[in-house]
Amino acid sequence: MVRKEGNRLIREFDGEKLWIESWGKNALRVRATGLAAIDESRDWALLPAATAAATPAGAAAAAGAGAGAAAAECKIEIAGERATIANGGITASLRNGRLSFFNKAGEPLLKERWLNRDEGNEFYSAINLGGREFRPILGGNHRLTVRFAAAPDEKIFGMGQYQDGNLDLKGCVLELAHKNSQASVPFLISNKGYGLLWNNPAIGRVSFAKNVTEWTAESTPQLDYWIVAGDAPAEIEESYAAATGTVPMMPDYAMGFWQCKLRYKTQDELLSVAREYKKRDLPLSVIVSDFFHWPMQGEWKFDPKYWPDPDAMVSELKSMGVELMVSVWPTVDKRSENFKEMLEHGYLVRAERGVRTTMDFMGNTVFFDPTHPGARDFVWKAAKRNYYDKGIKIFWLDEAEPEYSVYDYDNYRYHLGTDLEVGNIYPVMYAKTFYDGMEKAGQKNILNLLRCAWAGSQRYGALVWSGDIDATFESLRTQFAAGLNMAIAGIPWWTTDIGGFGGGDPDDPAYRECLIRWFQYGAFCPVFRLHGFRVAKDPGFKLIHDDGSDSDAVFSGGPNEVWSYGEEAYGILSRYLFLRERLKPYIARLMREAHERGTPPMRPLFYDFPKDGTAWEIEDEYMFGSDLLVAPVMRAGERERRVYLPEGARWTEVWTGTSYGGGTTTTVAAPLDRIPLFAKDDAVLPILE
């Protein structure tokens, strides 16, 4: 039976309930279940339908106020088992339960792939494979598979952060799960003119194969996805931002330079580094106190032995114009002061079998459960008392996947459900823990650094970095693709550990070259942050615990300040520090666009030049805002590189002033101190001193 209820088209047949409804501009939401009823209580990444119909900025405001524009009007027509639902530029056709989607010109965008003998199917097949498959799991949920017909010439971008170096994801199989350096953010844009959000936080996978696109959720009560049509990638991205929320406006200090290393051992050491930056008259906006500044995991406070006066430290840093960011982990050591109380209240992730130890790094620890509102409140109150009330207004929410020592997703349970069913929501709720607390305290323009994200994380001020990556040119190339796909996936605030995290000898000339090239690239990322676990020349640092025990395994790494890499490197790096400072007014404009419309500051060339077919093929250049093309050097020994300049504009090489026409490829010099940069048309940017 097919019927209409308001803006919703409903089909019920043989135990399946299928809903298609308008949800924002040019967009439809599709839900289905084989259970008794569709659960309307969880919108996951999506804002309410009325809010999603507003502009991105209006949607963000409406989401905070609990109100919004009226739901988008749609047109529904029903003729027996055939029906259509149209919302602006997108139409869904329902024929004997099979779904197909079309743009405003009537051209096909996406259709389910059904291979069976059912009457009314487009063609007869003895294979008997459905487009929507609910395979029952003992206990109630289903293993869900959704199949779409594949277009061999399709290009697919977004989906979050994967460490495989692919920008175009066609032909890829992606795990829909989080791990250290892997963030599943399941929104994509296709060159066919649509975007799709897999609005399901279950663990699963997606295959963008030549013969079929197949989405799988290992355990879920229902299907849930959102599809939008648009004439250009920017239109699709902005509709997605309206439907899921935009980032806050980035605070001014965050647009400058961030100094970080693994790790500053004491308050005196951290202050000495900040003082040295000021002594050298170098720009510095943020400095970081990394992990194990606390007495024990799960005690969110400074260890007074090594950080004796945090109030004075924060005060001195602020007098220099520097913000202090502190590392927060979700791990709770079983010996910590908070473990017993959190256990009693159900604030910790549970194990279905075996010993409840979810991570065994530097102690047997259990992650706190941010899907539990009481747990969020407990952790925030500790952080507020011990950090926020001392003037610390930015947090590094590490281990946000969370990083299980063993990724047995079937062995963990949250307040909202099993890990298999809801596990990918963890980083969103972790970000929400601090965002809600900071907002309640009256803070505006909230930003926190996380190592993971899912769809919707952006509206909770999530700045994502790419995790514990290798300190090599190969790794730099991999992060390049990861960052652009995160941008397309709706996460506009993104960065890397400049120079890579693991390894890198400051005295090695080969590594110095890698660090310089990475630093140049980092100056044109949304956040400019130096971090890493460098090769150390000293044996480390011994931490003495309150109970008298000690550990010499709390490693600290070698020096990682801009003066740590020799005079030649120092001259180049300091030049880019000042370049970034001069660009801050331009960057502020980009951050305003991200806040108001969801426009990613860094994006592939096709985002700004969708009619240029070659722009869809370029995977080693990007736009940093609408006025600047960046072509980083990402291989050792390169001192020149070929650059494609999109058609539809004139381009000026920043360093030489040479002008080029669009739709051309040129080879430009790239000496060690220079990253190739091109200004579009008549844009004047303060890059040169």
Active-site positions read 398, 401, 468
- In angstroms, rounded to a whole number, what is the distance separating the alpha carbons of residues 565 and 561? 8
Beta sheet of 677-680, edge-to-edge order: 602-603, 622-624, 628-630, 677-680, 651-653, 659-660
C-beta separation of 250 from 595 below 8 A: yes
Q: Are strands 212-220 and 204-208 parallel, antiparallel or unpaired?
A: antiparallel
Question: Containing H/E element for 186?
Answer: strand 183-190
C-beta separation of 378 from 385 below 8 A: no
Return the structure tokens found at 389: 């009330």
Q: State CA 180 to chain mean position distance.
A: 13
C-beta separation of 55 from 72 below 8 A: no
Alpha-carbon Rg of the chain, whole angstroms? 25
- Identify the bridge partners of residue 197 per DSSP, sorted by sequence position: 187, 226
The DSSP call for residue 374 is: H
- In angstroms, rounded to a whole number, what is the distance separating the alpha carbons of residues 631 and 188? 24
C-beta separation of 329 from 398 below 8 A: yes
- In angstroms, rounded to a whole number, what is the distance separating the alpha carbons of residues 606 and 618? 8
DSSP track, 502-531? B---TT-HHHHHHHHHHHHHHTTSSSEEE-
The DSSP call for residue 291 is: S
In angstroms, the first-to-last Cα distance of the chain is: 70
